[in-house]
Structure 1
């Protein structure tokens, strides 16, 4: 190893809190060996390692080799106890499926060269070696400080419109009909048939858990999630070594009551046939995971496929994170309705309207430096229109590609209640405590409806 490479590794560890079990020198050795094996040569070496990006579960490094080759190395940040190898295998299979199946020719995905999902390799952690995706990350766009706009909000309206349309077309491409053998609900799994890679629908996995399956309906997924939470809480309470039992608000009685009410609501949220077709879902189509050509604003790469699943169309009707908004950013909106659970949803954005500047709270970012909230408020108001454009562009593209027999103009509004129920279940029992009033209110509405229909 050269002195320069050793210095780069030392700097990366010092600046970015590399987990203690990750060996960057070992990672370089793994990558060099894999590359040499695939190219039947040994006369090159790694000359540089640089940070490409950091996410919740992975850190990505750029490796430069003496022959000019550049690779991206995605290394897990999770400990061996937290790491889910089934989820990582599904993530890799999904990327290869999108790239190799021929079903998604307009979705650029990096080519994967090698991977290791164990902690016993020289890197000390699971890793994936892949192409470096060209393009720019628009999430890094920044306006002048202080309180400058960033990301999509910073772009001029014409460029915003191009980006929103590109993202809507991308989501429409993912929403194409799938072959009959890939229409169960679950996660993509690799299948090796006589040395030729093929794909199937495997168990329903998230980044942390596996619920079994694949499933034929979301009702079965939701019941599996309820059972998982019940087993988890029983284990937590029954463990004599557990000094931090579930929160005080989660008494056995409360948990039991919410469990039964959620179980009862499952059939009430049965997905309409129109929106039940299974499609491939990328769970995080945010600008941080989509790269663009800086001039044409065409998409050049889609990354971070962790948690990708096959889901009913209605549960994929989510706006990109960059189009979402909440009622408490940059301050609590003065017109927030006084209801028990205003805008508490991660999946449902708050529709900002322009409040009077006189109602802005006093805020300061430094001595004698009052913050001007007007640019941020204006950006949030604009997001309302951008969301409407996103839904319209999505519908137009679905019709153009003939992916749907009828218009999906109201998909994103029709999806909201189903998304709320799905989000409630997948927040887990702690989330149930936060959303207790919504659960009980929804349950009460079903009982009232049942009584009106004369059922007992």
Structure 2
């Protein structure tokens, strides 16, 4: 909890907020639910106006740069790209230079309600309008490209004498202890340079860590998959040998754009009376300008985690749905609706944004799968990456990057023993993912991407997790020594 603990002067923050909006005084402060990286408060003025006060936690990223970049990014997407984001009234990114004692941002309180509160209620036509509105914003983000890859800052917030004047502060560059690790933080002039830096970042993180972060994608342990530094570094060695051949040759897919990669239902606000009208998009902290192909193109509020959806074809209901139990029918209908929304979004961008659709098609490829997994080797992914690397040999000469580089031979060589081990490890990693899916299903709506639980359900979530762990141990008849090993990998605190 220390990484989320921050002490500051609330009264002074209220005074600064009142001064920033020209009010006489702040009369009340209402604390919002804690986030992973920030504290947020609703500050009410004597004239009825309300603003948001935001204070970053110690784990939010690089001091000064994280706040400075967030403000510059919000100003840019609002003033240049026309995206409805909170107006910034005041901010300070140097804790030692202000009476509050911490970095802070005073910003507009977006009107309306969070999309997640109304997403299941709109009619089909209204849902389509929301998806279309987000697609329009994505099109606007693509209208401005940058010659470099990295983060936005105002010039006055940078010290040109430093060796890293514009450091990348995206989550992958600072989370899990990487903020204190030494590697190239940019900016970069090409997708290849940027992607080489990604690999070197992961190598440096592996070398700098005595213990890998616990994560929520896989439930690792003895008999399942166990990550090791040797396996991670072996996967990264393969990545470097394959990198230039798996990057897209279509340069329009690699242009650098500001892109919000976390468009879930809590970050999008809509009109309470008309949920088709988007009133604002929040949480621009750690947003970067990176190659288009490296972004999450499908908005996460569509919340699809099911089986692959092929192209633009409309999904089909299970032929035996009438014979299913009511519970299975409900699950099948929910899956069908989620798959249908994915297809709706794809058809929409195929019609209105051809370049984005070409980028999404590239993301269907095995080449992009390797790039996607490679960004997460420090936390997970090495087993999957090596299996993808092996499979790339079968399509090697079909890769545009291979043809563009003179059709060289496949650069990786494995013995049969190594191939067998790669397949075994991949199967074990898949099993570890399936084990975590079991826990996800048990927790139901208490599960979230970062496992933040509402305070009123905290004890219930802890109880369910304790029961789940006990059940896993008992069903697998684990002895004390093996249980102790499993405890090392168990990602949930008791």
Normalised TM-score (structure 1): 0.70
What corresponds to 2:91 in structure 1? 115
**Which of 293, 317, 320 is residue 354 of structure 1 equivalent to?**
317
Alpha-carbon distance change, 379 to 166 in structure 1, aligned in 2, over 3 angstroms: farther
Structure 2 residue 171 is the aligned partner of structure 1 residue 186: no
Alpha-carbon distance change, 160 to 213 in structure 1, aligned in 2, over 3 angstroms: same
Q: CA deviation at 1:318?
A: 1.4
What corresponds to 1:386 in structure 2? 341
Structure 2 residue 113 is the aligned partner of structure 1 residue 158: no
Structure 2 residue 267 is the aligned partner of structure 1 residue 289: yes
Structure 2 residue 256 is the aligned partner of structure 1 residue 278: yes
Structure 2 residue 10 is the aligned partner of structure 1 residue 33: no
**Which of 209, 227, 234 is residue 236 of structure 1 equivalent to?**
209
What corresponds to 2:44 in structure 1? 64
Q: CA deviation at 1:53?
A: 4.9
Structure-2 separation of matches of 1:76 and 1:429 = 24
What does the per-residue CA deviation read over 1:40-97, in whole Å, with 9 as the maximum and x for residues that have no partner? x7xx3322222445433223211101133311112223358x6553233211110011
Structure 2 residue 236 is the aligned partner of structure 1 residue 259: yes
CA contact (8 A) 1:61 1:73 kept: yes
Q: CA deviation at 1:420?
A: 2.7
Would you tell me which structure has more strand in proportion to its own residues?
A: 1
Alpha-carbon distance change, 21 to 222 in structure 1, aligned in 2, over 3 angstroms: same
What corresponds to 1:214 in structure 2? 187
What corresponds to 2:297 in structure 1? 318
- Say which is worse superposed, 381-390 or 86-95, in terms of deviation: 381-390
CA contact (8 A) 1:169 1:393 kept: no
Q: CA deviation at 1:301?
A: 0.8
Structure 2 residue 262 is the aligned partner of structure 1 residue 301: no
- Say which is worse superposed, 109-118 or 201-210, in terms of deviation: 201-210
CA contact (8 A) 2:362 2:368 kept: no
Structure 2 residue 78 is the aligned partner of structure 1 residue 99: yes
Normalised TM-score (structure 2): 0.65
Structure-1 separation of matches of 2:341 and 2:67 = 34
What does the per-residue CA deviation read over 1:125-159, in whole Å, with 9 as the maximum and x for residues that have no partner? 43211011112212023xxxxxxxxxx34432122
Runs of 5+ unmatched residues, structure 2:
158-164, 215-219, 411-494
Q: CA deviation at 1:223?
A: 1.1
Structure 2 residue 65 is the aligned partner of structure 1 residue 86: yes
CA contact (8 A) 1:168 1:391 kept: no
Structure 2 residue 382 is the aligned partner of structure 1 residue 433: yes
Structure-1 separation of matches of 2:87 and 2:328 = 43
**3-state SS of paired residue (1:282):** coil
Structure 2 residue 362 is the aligned partner of structure 1 residue 414: yes
Structure-1 separation of matches of 2:212 and 2:150 = 35
Structure-2 separation of matches of 1:116 and 1:76 = 11
What does the per-residue CA deviation read over 1:301-351, in whole Å, with 9 as the maximum and x for residues that have no partner? 111112222223333361111224223xxxxxxxx7xxxxxx7x9xx9xx9
Alpha-carbon distance change, 127 to 440 in structure 1, aligned in 2, over 3 angstroms: same
**3-state SS of paired residue (1:213):** coil
**3-state SS of paired residue (2:209):** helix
Alpha-carbon distance change, 79 to 317 in structure 1, aligned in 2, over 3 angstroms: closer
**3-state SS of paired residue (1:429):** coil
Structure-2 separation of matches of 1:243 and 1:316 = 25
Number of residue-to-residue matches in the alignment: 374
**3-state SS of paired residue (1:322):** helix
Q: CA deviation at 1:263?
A: 0.7
Alpha-carbon distance change, 284 to 183 in structure 1, aligned in 2, over 3 angstroms: same
Alpha-carbon distance change, 17 to 270 in structure 1, aligned in 2, over 3 angstroms: closer
Structure-2 separation of matches of 1:123 and 1:376 = 50
**3-state SS of paired residue (2:113):** coil
Q: CA deviation at 1:167?
A: 1.3
**3-state SS of paired residue (1:189):** coil
**3-state SS of paired residue (1:325):** coil
Runs of 5+ unmatched residues, structure 1:
1-15, 142-151, 194-200, 328-335, 337-342, 363-370, 399-405
Q: CA deviation at 1:276?
A: 2.4
Structure-2 separation of matches of 1:314 and 1:19 = 32
What corresponds to 1:5 in structure 2? none
CA contact (8 A) 2:115 2:265 kept: yes
What does the per-residue CA deviation read over 1:401-439, in whole Å, with 9 as the maximum and x for residues that have no partner? xxxxx6654442232336533331221323233524534
Compute the RMSD of aligned alpha carbons: 3.9
What does the per-residue CA deviation read over 1:22-55, in whole Å, with 9 as the maximum and x for residues that have no partner? 34xx12322313533774x7xx332222244543
What corresponds to 1:367 in structure 2? none
Structure 2 residue 373 is the aligned partner of structure 1 residue 424: yes
CA contact (8 A) 1:60 1:74 kept: yes
